[in-house]
Amino acid sequence: MAKLIQVELVAVEEKVWSGQAEMLIARTTEGELGVLPSHAPMLGQIVPGTVRIKLEGGEELAYEVDGGFLSVTGESVTVLAESATPVAAAGSRH
């Protein structure tokens, strides 16, 4: 079993997604950032774009955000977005 990190994706008006993930990827003012378990603590400003959450087993969630902030501790990452809209997975099977 892979080591996981706790992820919270919160928009101004609601908690959008919360759970365990292998990795979170977001674009910040410093460039694209991948957050894995045990990542060094940091704060970052997110620019408008896609936040991707890689789940255990290969599934990936994606949300379009209009900017916000990212807070990372060794055990968790919190995304505080102005807004977050789910993106349909390309090539997903139903």
Per-residue pLDDT tens digits for 41-80? 999 999 999 999 999 999 999 999 999 999 999 899 999 9
Per-residue CA distances from 34 to 5, 17, 93 (Å): 12, 18, 26
**What's the CA gap between 79 and 70, in Å, rounded?**
5
Q: Tell me, what's the pLDDT at 69?
A: 97
Contact in structure between 52 and 25 (CB atoms under 8 Å): yes
pLDDT band at 94 (very low <50, low <70, confident <90, very high): very low
Domain chopping of the chain, boundaries: 5-86
Q: What CATH class does 5-86 carry?
A: mainly beta
Q: Write the pLDDT tens digit of every residue in 3-22.
A: 999 999 999 889 999 999 99
Among the listed residues 9, 92, 14, 21, the one whose alpha carbon sits nearest the alpha carbon of residue 50: 9
* Dihedral sign (CA 86, 53, 89, 68): positive
82/93: higher pLDDT: 82
